[in-house]
Amino acid sequence: MAEYHFVSRWRIQAPIERVWEEIFHAERWPSWWKYVDRVDELERGAADGVGRRQHLLFRTRLPYKVGFEVRTTRVQPPLTLEADATGELEGTGRWMLTPDDGGTLVRYNWDVRTTRWWMNLLAPVARPAFRWNHDELMREGGESLARRLGAKLQLPDAEARRQRPARAARWPALAAMMALIVLAWRRRPSRR
């Protein structure tokens, strides 16, 4: 299995309670986050949300979907929400919210392993493409949440990403994209 550690940060000019409310209620995500296809509740869990099980299905910028189950393991409103994931991705996701100059700093840590055979096979060359894909999904999530709340958004990590040398990642990303296209082409139904 290929392992990934992703960190995403959003600075949203909205009160922490409003930001928490939207992040905590993942069942609402499909109404405002375009890459979230569905969120199905599998088990309610305790009154505070611990033990809640949900199945999430994400579309991505690349030509695939990824689905996994999450079980909420920690809830400390309005500061921390943590869940363990199983399925096509396995690991831990942790939302951390901090009041920040009249707004909210949101940090999401996503420590996961891929379980799909083709993702693991392509990981050595596709890692930059998978990272870009995750970053795009999270960027759009922050923009959509800010729109939903009628708030301004700042993406603290976006500037750092722009300053990284892009040339070094270009060829592996191109190779990964070609491999994904070939894989998608091979999986299409035959016309016999």
Average pLDDT of the segment spanning 115-144: 93
**Given this model, what pLDDT does residue 135 score?**
95
CB 105 within 8 A of CB 98: yes
Amino acid identity for residue 144 in this structure:
S
pTM of the model: 0.84
The tens digit of pLDDT for each residue in 46-85 reads 999 999 999 999 999 998 999 999 999 999 999 999 999 9
109 contacts: CB under 8 Å, gap ≥ 6:
5, 6, 7, 92, 93, 94, 96
Domains of the chain in sequence order: 3-186 (3.30.530.20)
CB 43 within 8 A of CB 27: no
The alpha helices in the chain, defined as continuous H runs, are 16-24, 29-32, 117-149, 156-163, 167-187
3-state secondary structure of 105: strand
